[in-house]
């Protein structure tokens, strides 16, 4: 079993990366092969909406998207993490999600092989874990359109380095992928 952890935070050792890495370490301790991806190290341009991908099974843009999408397609489980900036995921993760449109064919069927699972990990400073739930629930639908089963989400609050117990929720979520 291969678990891919993706962070979109520009803070290399911030809350989101810490939560993803703790979750991956847990999965590895249970026998999973793991890989960590820091989206900020990749150049992924916004979707052009040109629909080239509908006729060609690939995106027309020549950037790092194909590499990251290949990692997603080859993983059995995905942990997708983002900080919450102004009610929603950050721009880096949103661009990746928009570009995953290339994984849907012209008949709106997924090109992603079946049997994959995804868990979403979010970090925020707002103390109410449910404050942005209405905005975050749509990513379960995105996963569903891609044919990927969502195993849920975990929202951490505050500074994880000052409250390491926050990692427990992310670790529990990673168990759902195994």
| Structural domain contains residue 168 | yes
Q: What are phi and psi of 109, to 5 degrees?
A: -105, 145
Question: Contact 36/24 with Cβ under 8 angstroms?
Answer: yes
Is 93 among the domain residues?
A: yes
Give the domain CATH number at 46.
3.40.50.360
Q: Report the number of distinct structural domains present in the chain.
A: 1
- Please give the pLDDT value at position 163: 92
Residue 1 included in any domain: no
pLDDT at 70: 97
> What pLDDT does 129 receive?
94
Q: By three-state DSSP, how is residue 130 classified? A: coil
40: containing domain = 7-175
Alpha-carbon span 4 to 112, nearest angstrom: 15
pTM over 0.85? The answer is yes
> Does a structural domain hold residue 58?
yes
Is 152 contained in some domain? yes
Question: Which pLDDT tens digits describe the chain residue by residue (178 residues)?
Answer: 999 999 999 999 999 999 999 999 999 999 999 999 999 999 999 999 999 999 998 999 999 999 999 999 999 999 999 999 999 999 999 999 999 999 999 999 999 999 999 999 999 999 999 999 999 999 999 999 999 999 999 999 999 999 999 999 999 999 999 9
With respect to residue 2, please indicate whether it lies within any of the assigned structural domains.
no
124 found inside a domain: yes
């Amino acid at each position: 079993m291969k678990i891919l952890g993706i962070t979109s935070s520009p803070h290399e050792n911030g809350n989101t990366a810490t939560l993803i890495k703790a979750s991956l370490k847990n999965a590895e301790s249970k026998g999973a092969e793991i890989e960590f991806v820091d989206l900020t190290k990749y150049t992924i341009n916004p979707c052009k909406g040109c629909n080239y991908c509908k006729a060609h099974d690939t995106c027309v843009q020549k950037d790092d998207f194909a590499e990251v999408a290949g990692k997603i397609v080859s993983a059995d489980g995905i942990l997708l993490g983002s900080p919450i900036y102004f009610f929603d995921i950050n721009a880096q993760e949103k661009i990746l999600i928009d570009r995953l449109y290339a994984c849907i064919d012209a008949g709106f069927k997924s090109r992603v092989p079946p049997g994959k699972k995804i868990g979403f990990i979010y970090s925020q400073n707002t103390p109410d874990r449910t404050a942005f739930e209405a905005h975050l629930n749509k990513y379960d639908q995105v996963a569903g359109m891609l044919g990927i089963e969502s195993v849920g989400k975990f929202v951490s609050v505050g500074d994880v380095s000052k409250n390491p117990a926050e990692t427990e929720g992310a670790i529990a979520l990673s168990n759902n992928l195994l």
